[in-house]
Amino acid sequence: MPRELNVAGMVCPNNVFLAPMAGYTNYPYRKLCEEFGAGLTFTEMVSAKGLHYGNEETSLLLYHGAEPLKAAQLFGSEPDILREACESEALKDFDLIDLNMGCPMPKIVKNGEGNALMENPTLAEKIIAECVKSGKRISVKFRTGVDDAHKCTAEFAKRCEGAGACLITVHGRTREKVYTGAPDYAEIAAAKAAVEIPVIANGGVWNEKDMNKMLERTGADGVMVARAAMYDPRVFCALMGEERPPLLPYFLRLIEEERAIYGERFALVFCRKMAAFWLKGTRGAAAGKRRLFAAETTEEVASLATQLFSEEGA
């Protein structure tokens, strides 16, 4: 069962977290997942170098509101730039800074960032240690390794803890696997056994059965939910053992908040995308998606959603 989790003095109401997801976990969506029960949510992956150069779009990724706990995720490969980001005005309100050492995307890895840092553990340690000097709580999210022949989960976990991280999240797949296949419970369990700091297990958690299996087989202190929250943010209700409320009023509010913060065009693209995810598996989903992606205004999306979600009783 979900339980309270203390992370270096930051008390999370439960140990079921929302993963940082590029293109998805903006403020209104994080707020929605928190409302449904997520114990902690993270911003999208934010470039430390983008902050350094004052990129406006990068800064907008850190938009936040009255969240009780705020966690941001940074990526980069230069210790001084990452520490500067942790100490920046843009991150002053955040309670926890997560360092991305797990992203498997080629455009990130080829720059020596994301999961590439697992191949350079000395640099990874230096990055963590520099960021810790900022005075912020620092966590690290990483994978089990690059491929099946080069798994190093427990060793990397110990390096993270030794460098000062107060929390680690282990995605139970290698870079090579990306998001396919079952999570490697044994590797996550090895990381948990290797450190004293809390360990969050990520990968393959779609429902309460998956969550319980993950916790039982790894001994992890909590779980992190990613794609399941894209398809239905009410997954957190289910994981908390609560009933799922109707989606429609929450979706209509999401449209309004996305538009108010990011503008009409962004809200249109984002909400069409999310509505399509939420319709997956329902009757007539393919036709509904076509209609959604033909919509040219958020008002049209709201009107279509009112019909489509009502038809499904969602």
Active site residues: 103
Q: Are 131 and 165 in contact (CB under 8 A)?
A: no
Helix (H) or strand (E) holding 152: none
Using alpha carbons, select from 228, 216, 247 the residue that is nearest to residue 17: 228
> Please, which residues have CB within 8 angstroms of residue 106's CB and are 6 or more apart in sequence?
none
Torsion (CA) 210, 207, 34, 195 in degrees, nearest 10? 0
Q: Where are the alpha helices (H) located in the chain, listed in sequence order?
A: 27-36, 48-52, 56-60, 79-86, 106-109, 121-132, 153-163, 185-194, 208-218, 227-231, 235-239, 248-262, 264-279, 285-294, 298-312
> Please, what sign has the CA dihedral across residues 301, 303, 307, 313?
positive
**Any idea what DSSP says for residue 20?**
P
Relative to beta strand 137-143, strand 199-202 is unpaired
Cα distance between residue 158 and residue 164, in whole Å: 10
What number of residues does the chain have?
Answer: 314
Cα distance between residue 193 and residue 282, in whole Å: 42
Q: Are 98 and 74 in contact (CB under 8 A)?
A: yes
Q: Are 71 and 41 in contact (CB under 8 A)?
A: yes
